Homo-oligomer: A and B are copies of this chain.
Amino acid sequence: MLFRQLFDPESSTYTYLIGDPITGQAALVDPVLEQVDRDLQLLQELGLSLAFCLETHVHADHITGTGQLRDRTGCRGLVPQGAEVACADGQMGDGEILQVGTLGIVAIATWGHTDSHLAYLVEGDRVLTGDSLLIRGCGRTDFQGGDAGLLYDAVTRRLFTLPDETWVYPGHDYRGQTVSTIGEEKRHNPRFAGRDRSVFIALMSNLNLPNPKKMAEAVPANRQCGQG
């Protein structure tokens, strides 16, 4: 498998490229509008044809590159079931498997940051967690249908039940960390390790974070595939 982690410094977003060297088919997960040229050039250089753009959720902090990528490549844009994105070409539901050439990507419902968030398990050994589980952190739960109890359940029952050696690739990182494992996060994530559900909910309700700078612009734009 061809696998690349790509970073957008402006929004601290990670985009993931998943490519099948056998068929040349590829998918991008959580592409960022400002990085579309970079991502298309990399696909071309790796000899890959973009078949799918996937979103882990409707983002509030950056505008998706999916609409523009679809216009320029003819790829299909897929969003989580329940996300209000009428322009999408299809939806992924919990447990659904997307074939990218010979590769398999399994959707895992991980609600809580938003009410239709998916993580994607790629080839069984690496999970793209979007804004559910972050390295030593987690996504906020105070807008877009966020729910701290649901996030606790998703992380502890759906992600922490994956094998300890599963690689964790998050949707963001703000401290220069690139990758972790499920075992590491179970032991060392300060939001979850040794905390029960009610303590986690109390913790999340007291974060008092400002809204993302681009939120008023990004959410409506992302409901139109980044072309609002």
Contacts and interface: CB of A to CB of B under 8 A. Distances in A.
A7 B176 contact: yes
Contact of A175 (B38, B177, B179, B187): B38
A45 interface: yes
Interface in A5-40: 5-9, 35, 38
Contacts of A157: none
A28 to B, nearest CB: 13
A5 B45 CA distance: 23
A155 B156 CA distance: 47
A136 to B, nearest CB: 9
Contacts of A7: 7, 176-178
A5 B175 CA distance: 12
Given A7-B176, A7-B178, A9-B9, 4 more contacts: A7-B177, A8-B176, A38-B177, A45-B187
Given A45-B188, A187-B45, A179 B38 contact: no
A46 B181 CA distance: 11
A179 B4 contact: yes
A177 B42 CA distance: 10
A4 B178 contact: yes
Contacts of A42: 177
Given A9-B9, A45-B187, A187-B45, A178 B176 contact: no
